[in-house]
Amino acid sequence: NAGVTQTPKFQVLKTGQSMTLQCAQDMNHEYMSWYRQDPGMGLRLIHYSVGAGITDQGEVPNGYNVSRSTTEDFPLRLLSAAPSQTSVYFCASRSLGVRNEQFFGPGTRLTVL
Partner 1 sequence: AQTVTQSQPEMSVQEAETVTLSCTYDTSESDYYLFWYKQPPSRQMILVIRQEAYKQQNATENRFSVNFQKAAKSFSLKISDSQLGDAAMYFCAFNQFYFGTGTSLTVIP
**Binding site residues, partner 1, CB under 8 A:** 35, 40-45, 58-59, 88, 90, 92, 94, 98-99, 101-102, 104, 106-107
- Minimum CB distance to partner 1, residue 31 (Å): 9
User: Is the Cβ of residue 68 or residue 94 nearer to partner 1 in the bound state?
Assistant: 94
- Minimum CB distance to partner 1, residue 62 (Å): 16
User: Is the Cβ of residue 67 or residue 104 nearer to partner 1 in the bound state?
Assistant: 104
In the chain the beta strands, taken as DSSP E runs, fall at: 4-7, 10-13, 19-25, 31-38, 42-51, 54-57, 64-66, 76-78, 87-94, 103-104, 108-112
- Minimum CB distance to partner 1, residue 82 (Å): 22
User: Is the Cβ of residue 64 or residue 90 nearer to partner 1 in the bound state?
Assistant: 90
User: Is the Cβ of residue 4 or residue 13 nearer to partner 1 in the bound state?
Assistant: 4
Separation between Cα atoms, residue 17 and residue 75, nearest integer Å: 17
Q: How far apart are the first and last CA of the chain?
A: 36
Q: What is the largest CA-CA distance in the chain?
A: 39
- Minimum CB distance to partner 1, residue 18 (Å): 25
How many Cβ atoms from other residues are within 10 Å of residue 56's Cβ? 12
